Chain A
Amino acid sequence: MIVIVSDDSKGDYGPALAEAVSQTETQLVHFSANALTVMPCVACGSCSGKTYGRCITQDDMQQVLPKIAGCRALVLVSPVVFGGVSYHIKKIMDRMAAVGDPRYRISEGELVKGMSGQGMNYYMLGIGDELSATERAAFLSLHEENRKIMSAQGQAFILSGRSGQASINKIAQEIVYG
């Protein structure tokens, strides 16, 4: 299954990507992060202790976590905000710790972690106009660091607010078959 979580408060790239992926008959779930009620992670530690693998905060994240737990690919779609993702998307990311593997591994000589499922692909799609070189590099580096710490595969894409359906279709192809 492919899970797309998008912040659609500033554009409809998330729904457009979901539409393009659904054309390929891949199993898909799409969440609009800005329409969900998700509290910030308060670092209570329960998901790696008392309620191992489960987040105890009862809100809409309880619908998202089961989907992410077993997904083949996770795609986060966000406006590029200060070289990263918007707070709507960041709230989802922070709460994902519950479906992460809390044990440590070594990759390329450094400590990393992983996700609970097997071999998740992780993609980020950033949307922004006239982004500076620093903003673009920061967005790509955030994805790269996330990818490493999750021991995942996948890549980051950046589109301008004027990109057409063809660019979206290309990204959909990459996510489904890449």
Chain B
Amino acid sequence: MDKSEIMLLCASPRRKGTSTMLLERIQAVTGSEVVFLPQKDSLHELVLVMQQAATIVISGPCYINTYPARLIELLEAAALAGGFSGQKLYGIINGGMPYIHTHQHGLTCLQLFAEQNHLSWQGGFVLGCGAMLDGKPLEKHMNRKTVVPAFDQFIRHIAAGTPSPSCLYEQAQSPPGKIMTQVFAKLLTFLVEKSIKKHGHDPKAANWYLREQE
């Protein structure tokens, strides 16, 4: 495959986060620059790049159970522009929650976009616990022993231009058990509350907008 024909698109507004880290891992094998979705201005230029790429890999965070609004805006603009003819599309979505089902919608959305606009959907990778990584290497992931080889296999599919099955990411991650879930809930809440208190706020107070209205 011509290396320059792969478009690696980061759909996170955070340029040093987990979405970028995953693309850089792919980049190490396939080459090509990582393109960042601009948060302002027209998306026209980016649609042109998508039309010209042979393969598009989109990596983004999970916001409220699917990709962020700006990526949906790009997909809507691309659908309106048309001009696709069999471009291979792979997707990656990473979310904070340690589950797959909470982030899965993102990949379904990309698959539907591909099917409705003459691109060729090649599968993707759903990654839980992405917030804990916060851009750190995949080797720091909670399920590193299974996630690292699975993601590297996913990269090999991209490099070879072959479809990547969902069992690859499904089998690599298992949700925390009952006790760990309780530990997580307590620990994460403690950390969130600590940060809120550090900034001089009461985590248990009514929402700021409600207090403003009183």
* Residues of chain A having any CB pair with chain B under 8 Å: 39-43, 48-54, 65-66, 69-70, 81-87, 90-91, 93-94, 96-99, 102-106, 109-111, 116-117, 132, 134-135, 138, 141-142, 145-146, 148-149
Contacts and interface: CB of A to CB of B under 8 A. Distances in A.
A87 B76 contact: yes
Interface stretch (B44-52, B147-155, B163-171, B182-190): B182-190
Nearest to B101: A145
16 contacts: A40-B73, A43-B14, A48-B192, A83-B105, A87-B69, A94-B68, A94-B69, A104-B184, A111-B185, A116-B207, A134-B111, A138-B108, A141-B108, A145-B101, A146-B65, A149-B64
B42 interface: no
Interface string B46-82: 0000000000000001011110111011011000000
A90 B75 CA distance: 13
Contact of B175 (A86, A105, A110, A145): A110
B29 interface: no
Contact of B66 (A40, A51, A84, A109): A84
Nearest to A46: B199
Contact of A141 (B63, B105, B203, B206): B105
Given A104-B184, A149-B64, A110 B99 contact: yes
Nearest to B176: A111
Q: How many B residues touch the partner, as a band?
A: 35 or more
Main DSSP-derived SS at the A contact region = mixed
A91 B206 CA distance: 24
Contacts of B66: 84, 90, 142
A69 B109 CA distance: 28
A41 B69 contact: yes
B193 A54 contact: no
Contacts of A49: 195-196, 198-199
Given A42-B39, A69-B209, A105-B185, A149 B102 contact: yes
A145 B102 contact: yes
B28 interface: no
Best-buried of B13, B72, B111 by chain A (most CB within 10 Å): B72
Contacts of A149: 64-65, 97, 102
A110 B184 CA distance: 10
Smallest CB-CB A-B distances: 7 pairs: A90-B69, A53-B208, A116-B207, A87-B73, A52-B201, A145-B65, A91-B69
Contact of A83 (B99, B101, B108, B205): B108
A11 to B, nearest CB: 16
Given A48-B192, A99-B207, A82 B182 contact: no
Contacts of B111: 134
B203 A52 contact: yes
B46 to A, nearest CB: 14
B87 to A, nearest CB: 16
